[in-house]
Amino acid sequence: MKPFQVNTITKHLIIALSATVMLSAPTFAQQAADDEQAEVIEITGSRIARTELSATSPVFTIDEIQLETDQAVTIEDIVRKLPQAAAGANSTGATVGDSLGSSTIDLRGLGQNRTLVLVNGSRVVPFSFRNAVDVNAIPAGLIKRVEVLTGGAAAVYGADAVAGVVNFILDDEYDGFETTAGIEFSDGGGEVFNIDATMGTNIDNGRGNITGYIGYTKRNELLAGDRDFTQGTPTNVAGLGGNFTDIASDRNFSFTDTGALSDTTQTTNITPERFLIQPLERLTGNVFFNYDLIDDGLEMYGRAMFTQVRVTGAGSTGQTPVSVNEQITISQNNPFVTDAISNLLTFDADGNALLGVQKNLGFGLQETRTVRDTIQFQLGFRGDITDFIGWDIYGQYGRTDGTATVYNNAIRQDFQGLANTRNIFGPTDFSDLSSPIIHSDRQRIQSVVNFTISGDSADFFELPAGPIGFAVGYEYRDEEGVQTPGTALVSGTAYGLGGISAIDASFDSKEFYGELLVPLLRDLPLIKELSVEGAYRHSDYSNVDSASTNKIGLSWALNDDLRFRATRQTAIRAPNLGEFAGPEVALSLALFDPTSSSFIPRLGGRFDGDPCLDGRGDTAQCQRLGAAAPGTPFDTSQAIYTFGGNDTIQPEESETFSMGLVYTPEFVEDLDLTIDYYDIEITDAVSQIQPIAALTSCYIDDPNEGNPLCGAVLRDSSTGLISQTLVNDFNLAVLDQAGFDIGLRYGFGDISDSIRNVQFSYQGNIVDSQSRQNNATVPALDCKGTFGTSCTGDFASILQADYRHRAWVDFEVSELNIQLGWRFIGDVDAALDDSISIGSQSYIDLAATYQFGDNYEITVGIDNLLDEEPPLPEAGGNFFGTVSDYDTIGRTIGATFRFRP
């Protein structure tokens, strides 16, 4: 692993601190306050403080009360109820090889690598080389609110904010003590237990504060066998007794698991033992502090965050049990060859027979156990230059260390030799050969230095409509990643290919940015307030070309009731470590072939056969490219599937346009309405062409000689059979999505003496259009209202619903605060076959909170009250024929007890 670059980071910190000293000398002024002015805060999407509803960019907020009502134990509990978010990797992510038990956020289904995750406005260290953040490292119990920003924000926050930003605002100035304990359970598994404590105190007569948080969470496994809906999707593997073929005569025989000789192929269905929900343990501890070094003039602040997550799921080796599928030579004198077996074999003159063997070695299902430690330290200083101008500088260092170990695997044995020393016929105990194998050791490091000066021009001048707000700054960021794969997975001596390789890469960026908020008019007919804002950032990267991004926004309040807002902003996403430095990895194509005994279900939807062999392909195109004749046998284990990075790729670019309104009429008490239209277009998007898409385009949809996608599948010149599929990263795609975000809150007040404070809330996302064009030579694929890997951003989420909402009603009955909620996902069709569809899904949630005394509170809730099962599409799913956006656990009942002395 590369050492931490102390000298480089320190140099940039010293430069920024020196600028701070010069700008802040000789005195630190106290910030002016105006009791008549609304509270201003820093809203996600800008570094200029303002009131929340005056922001030009649409921001959706979840407050602390809602989080408590939802009994959010992990961030995953929060994200899965956001209408703007697709599934990402989550607790059902035992199906995602690189996720290693993580939980990620995927806004708009545009890719978890295109969603920027912040804590209190600063970056969170990723766990992966694709820049995804494991949000389970963020303490859910300490969250004050969650802000979700639509669209790009690279001019404000730098790269990666292409689909949007999710900012978790933590309570870092707590005064008092609070502890919670909770349990959530369902029928048959997946129970969640949680206990945490938050404590904080003001120090030195209020000059500072120290806040601490500690929490422990345990989530039990839920197996597929615990749910009826999995019964129709068996995963059959060779039985423990084994299946055998006498090669000379093509005679088949087998042994049952009890050792009886049979002429019927023996298989075992392992679906019931697969994970639906991954077991997890999490321990987290956090400390936040702030202290006024000079009264109301210079403040020091910081945080230290630590989380350890232990999770068991499926890594790149999958969960399929270890088995052998090969030919061996067996002697007639072998002591384990009984007369019954001998009569089924054809021995040559030397007394040897060639025998095909398919046999489960009986280790049980494979599982990958990951231990991931995440730390992040931040130290900052902020103060005043004048009454209306302040500065803020911080440095932070974050690191994620993860070790993944595969269990129920082994170092590959010479099966020919085993057949001479052990009885391979019938159920034989090979468990002594099994041993844990290191999957990978991974370190992901992120270091940031940021310096910002912000405020307004009130000290010097004001326009007729008010002072000009501004923010300028500099940010240095260093990204490092090291992955050391287990030697058995690299050398191929483990059973099953792992798709893991060594990575040791880094890059840095130096960025200058600025924002302006200019008030143009105010207090005129039809113009209560009119302002424009702009932002610009220049980014200089060490690994790719430099880039600039910008933003322009308009805010127009007609009166106190109605405000219009609009923005146009550009964003970039620099290639992450996995994309520009990931080496090429080769896997057997049989792992992706549903007709192969080696098929891994989580890899489904990427290959469905050779169109030239099964008659689907254009005859002339197949002949032109030298394909084998229809009906030719094809053993996909003899072909390879390769994927990896590309050191020539450049940053993705995007443009986001949004416009909307905020309506808060005085004549309708307690009504808030926001409607925002957005249009996000991403060009030069890093993309991979899956074999199913390349073959379909080349031989079925566009069978022309010049179709470039034909080059993504290579054929053996002597046989005409596929020899290799290429799935590397390239700047190929154009992604586009446009739609509406709608937010509504209306308070009805008391509707009777017993039902009081009734309030209705609604958050919805309507996708008006969505497309993906894999490269300029092929037409764009209509992805609106679809599911499947053809439209996904980075294969973590595969659902592109064109409508989602969450609606809920809050009211009080006696001493109870009750919330009844309705989550809805619209119907979708398979991306490449609209004859396969999933109907709309609704989930009803119910929660009630009761406070007794001044110190005690209990919340009881039921999610998925009607116990809806997930849909089972005929194809295009990623696990048991379903997709992970839907509820796999069923009805869950939870209770949380909270104590505040």
pLDDT at residue number 64: 80
CA distance 732 to 777: 10
Number of domains in the chain: 1
Q: Does the pLDDT value for residue 533 go beyond 50?
A: yes
**CB-based contact 890:185 (threshold 8 Å):** no
Question: Is residue 629 situated within a structural domain?
Answer: no
pLDDT at residue number 498: 62
The whole-chain average pLDDT of the chain stands at 87
For residue 371, which phi and psi values (nearest 5 degrees)?
-115, 120
pLDDT at residue number 97: 53
Question: Is residue 605 situated within a structural domain?
Answer: no
Question: Is residue 694 situated within a structural domain?
Answer: no
Question: Is residue 881 situated within a structural domain?
Answer: yes
Q: Does the pLDDT value for residue 330 go beyond 50?
A: yes
Reported as a pLDDT band with limits 50, 70 and 90, residue 55 is low
Q: Does the pLDDT value for residue 858 go beyond 50?
A: yes
For residue 415, which phi and psi values (nearest 5 degrees)?
-65, -30
Measure Cα distances from 461 to 24, 228, 467 in Å.
20, 71, 7
Tens-place pLDDT, residues 129-142: 878 888 888 888 88
Question: Is residue 870 situated within a structural domain?
Answer: yes
Reported as a pLDDT band with limits 50, 70 and 90, residue 54 is low
Kindly tell me the burial class for residue 300, based on how many C-beta atoms sit within 10 Å of its own C-beta (0-12, 13-18, 19 or more): middle
CA distance 63 to 257: 56
**CB-based contact 846:809 (threshold 8 Å):** no
Number of H helices, E strands in the chain: 11, 47
pLDDT at residue number 389: 95
pLDDT at residue number 794: 65
CA distance 124 to 139: 12
Give DSSP secondary structure letters for 432-446. GGB--EEEEEEEEEE
CA distance 901 to 369: 39
pLDDT at residue number 6: 39
Question: Is residue 362 situated within a structural domain?
Answer: no
Over its C-alpha atoms, the chain yields an Rg (Å, rounded) of 30
Domain that holds residue 878: 6-225+277-318+367-581+648-688+729-899
Give yes or no for a cis peptide into 26 (omega within 30° of 0).
yes
Which two structure tokens, joined as six digits, stand for 515? 């924002």
CA distance 629 to 623: 8
Tens-place pLDDT, residues 393-439: 999 999 999 999 999 999 988 899 999 899 999 998 898 999 999 99
pLDDT at residue number 847: 93
Which has more confidence, 557 or 25? Answer: 557
**CB-based contact 693:790 (threshold 8 Å):** yes
Q: How many CA atoms lie within 13 A of 419 on its CB side?
A: 25
DSSP one-letter code for 7: H
**CB-based contact 878:888 (threshold 8 Å):** no
Q: Does the pLDDT value for residue 175 go beyond 60?
A: yes
DSSP one-letter code for 698: I
Question: Is residue 611 situated within a structural domain?
Answer: no
Report helix, strand or coil for 696: helix
Q: pTM for the full model?
A: 0.85
Tell me the mean pLDDT in the region 211-240.
Answer: 92
CATH of the domain at 678: 2.40.170.20
Do β-strands 803-813 and 755-773 pair in parallel, antiparallel, or remain unpaired? antiparallel
Closest alpha carbon to 639 in 680, 598, 673 = 598
CA distance 36 to 24: 28
Tell me the mean pLDDT in the region 689-714.
Answer: 88
Q: Does the pLDDT value for residue 17 go beyond 80?
A: no
Question: Is residue 360 situated within a structural domain?
Answer: no
Give DSSP secondary structure letters for 313-369. E--TT-SPPPEEEEEEEEETT-TT--HHHHTTS---TTSEEEEEEEEE-S----EEE
Tens-place pLDDT, residues 640-678: 998 878 888 889 899 999 999 999 998 888 899 999 999
Do β-strands 803-813 and 562-573 pair in parallel, antiparallel, or remain unpaired? unpaired
Reported as a pLDDT band with limits 50, 70 and 90, residue 26 is very low
Written as one letter, the residue type at 154 is A
DSSP one-letter code for 466: B
Q: Does the pLDDT value for residue 723 go beyond 90?
A: yes
